[in-house]
Amino acid sequence: MSNEKNKKEMVDDYVDYMDIDAISDEIIDLLKHKRYAAVRNRLTETNVVDIAETLENINEELGLDKTILTFRLLPKDVSVEVFAYIGEDEQVEIIHGITQHEIDYIIDELAFDDMIDLLEELPANLVDKILLNTSKEERKLINTFLNYPENSAGSLMTIDYIDVKETLTAKQALAHIKEVGLDSETVYTVYVMDGKRKLKGVVSLRSLVLADDDTLVSELMHTDVMSVPVTMDQEMVSNIFKRYGLLAMPVVDREDRLVGMITVDDIFDIIEDETTEDIQLMAGVTGAGDDEYLDMSVLKHVRTRLPWLFILMCSYMITGAIITKFQDMLSQVIALVSYMPLLMGTGGNSGSQSATLIIRGLSTGEVDLKDFPKVAWKEIRISLCVGACLSVLNFLRVIFIDGNSASVALTICVAMLIIVVIAKTIGGLLPMAAKAVGIDPALMAGPVVSSLTDMFSLAIYFLCATMILGI
């Protein structure tokens, strides 16, 4: 019983520790009462990620002056780590508010990939200010990274990796790791190169530690190392990480020379960004980027939402035109009107189901473009089964519950079967067709599929009514 109680207390303590709002409120209260020593002590007990969020909360509650003051209260080494985690807007504001000496220290201590990410988002005048005291060699290297295509492996990678020559012994390699490891992204993966900096293999820290001192690195390394070209799209890179469960991966140029390394923590950000983008596209929102909902202005929200809403509105004009064309039929058999939402909704839902599953399959690599015939055949079979079940249920409902004639029930059920088959086929194949022509498949989900299936649903419904009811 005592052990269970202790476990509960530990969980409660952890939950309290992770209560960011409580930490922020406490620090804000201390700042209001000018208890700066207590602020510093409380911050030193807090995780750097939580400090970064706390700074953003302070900026909202107390303004920029208090934010910069709090940032300056942090120990120098902690302030650099915190700076890497705070939002881009806060980074810009802090850069504006601190001295050149403080800027130089942050840039010197900041991880290279984090520095590149920062420079990519800053205006040109601030970039010049930040790079004021950097050497020509470092500026040249920075410019090289900034010129890599956006969303490429080159824009993700870091140069803070460990490399050794294949001619070194295990003892010499370990001595080298001890020398440079403190400034490296990771010490667990070591890349092996020849004299021309071409990637030859990879060796783990574990292998080096357990090997005899005189064992050559060439005897310990794995030559079947997986690498990516510097121009590869970041989404493809993330898929490779997910597929093979990698923690790090080397990046090479056209001559197979090692130029950088991508670590799994960078991939987490990419996965989040790609997922966010897909969700936005599926909702018909374009151009939102990485901006958070509350940070976006009203006008930007309008710009990101309006285009697709306009396009979809135009598609519904076509739907309205279809209804107008068959209004004489509807006036003769009023019962048909009440079933229009049922058929349109079922068609849209059926198409969205298939589209969502295929889009996920494409993003995870489970489904490829070469699977087009397989997907088509499977969706047709699924839709026939689903459509038949729904049609039988609605046939019974229309006759026994709604009290309509068998001919009306047959019209609705035949239409439903055809609609479900077409909707699921469209939903399954449209994302694949989009990918084939270079369009993001996520764009083919949600509103787009629903709009298309609505048009098809009404056209099929009225054609079935014409043929079965003879009107």
pLDDT confidence of residue 4:
47
Domain 162-274, CATH: 3.10.580.10
pLDDT confidence of residue 15:
42
- Least confident among 80-94, 185-199, 326-340, 406-420: 326-340
pLDDT digits (tens, 9 = 90+) for 227-259: 899 989 888 888 888 888 888 889 998 888 888
292: confidence class by pLDDT, cuts 50, 70, 90 = low
pLDDT confidence of residue 441:
75
pLDDT above 50: residue 12: no
pLDDT confidence of residue 325:
72
**Looking at per-residue confidence, does 397 or 110 come out higher?**
397
411-434 average pLDDT score: 89
pLDDT confidence of residue 14:
45
pLDDT above 70: residue 445: no
Distance CA 442, CA 437 (A): 13
Second CATH level (architecture) for the domain 11-147:
Alpha Horseshoe (1.25)
282: confidence class by pLDDT, cuts 50, 70, 90 = low
**Looking at per-residue confidence, does 459 or 448 come out higher?**
459
pLDDT above 80: residue 142: no
Assign residue 446 a region (left: φ > 0; alpha: ψ between -120 and 50; beta: otherwise).
left
pLDDT above 60: residue 326: yes
pLDDT confidence of residue 2:
43
CATH topology of domain 298-469: Tetracycline Repressor; domain 2 (1.10.357)
CB atoms within 10 A of CB 334: 8
| Residue given tokens 């989009």 in the structure block | 434
Amino acid at 448: V
428: confidence class by pLDDT, cuts 50, 70, 90 = confident
| Sheet bearing 162-165, strands edge to edge | 162-165, 189-193, 199-204
pLDDT above 80: residue 11: no
The half-sphere exposure of 93 on its side-chain side, counting CA atoms within 13 A, is: 17
Name the pTM for this structure. 0.56
pLDDT digits (tens, 9 = 90+) for 163-183: 999 889 999 999 999 888 877
426: confidence class by pLDDT, cuts 50, 70, 90 = confident
285: confidence class by pLDDT, cuts 50, 70, 90 = low
pLDDT confidence of residue 98:
84
pLDDT confidence of residue 390:
92
| Residue given tokens 């930040």 in the structure block | 130
pLDDT above 90: residue 278: no
| Phi, psi for residue 341 in degrees, rounded to 5 | -60, -35
91-114 average pLDDT score: 81
Distance CA 43, CA 63 (A): 18
Average pLDDT, the chain: 81
pLDDT above 80: residue 307: no
Say if residues 165 and 193 touch (Cβ distance below 8 Å). Answer: yes
pLDDT confidence of residue 265:
82
pLDDT above 80: residue 135: no
313-342 average pLDDT score: 73
pLDDT confidence of residue 308:
65
pLDDT above 80: residue 293: no
Share of the chain above pLDDT 90, in %: 11
Tokens of 328: 């004489």
pLDDT confidence of residue 1:
42
Q: Are strands 199-204 and 189-193 parallel, antiparallel or unpaired?
A: antiparallel
Share of the chain above pLDDT 70, in %: 84
**Looking at per-residue confidence, does 335 or 60 come out higher?**
60
145-153 average pLDDT score: 82
Domains in the chain: boundaries: 11-147, 162-274, 298-469
Q: What's the chain's Rg over C-alpha atoms?
A: 30
pLDDT above 90: residue 388: yes
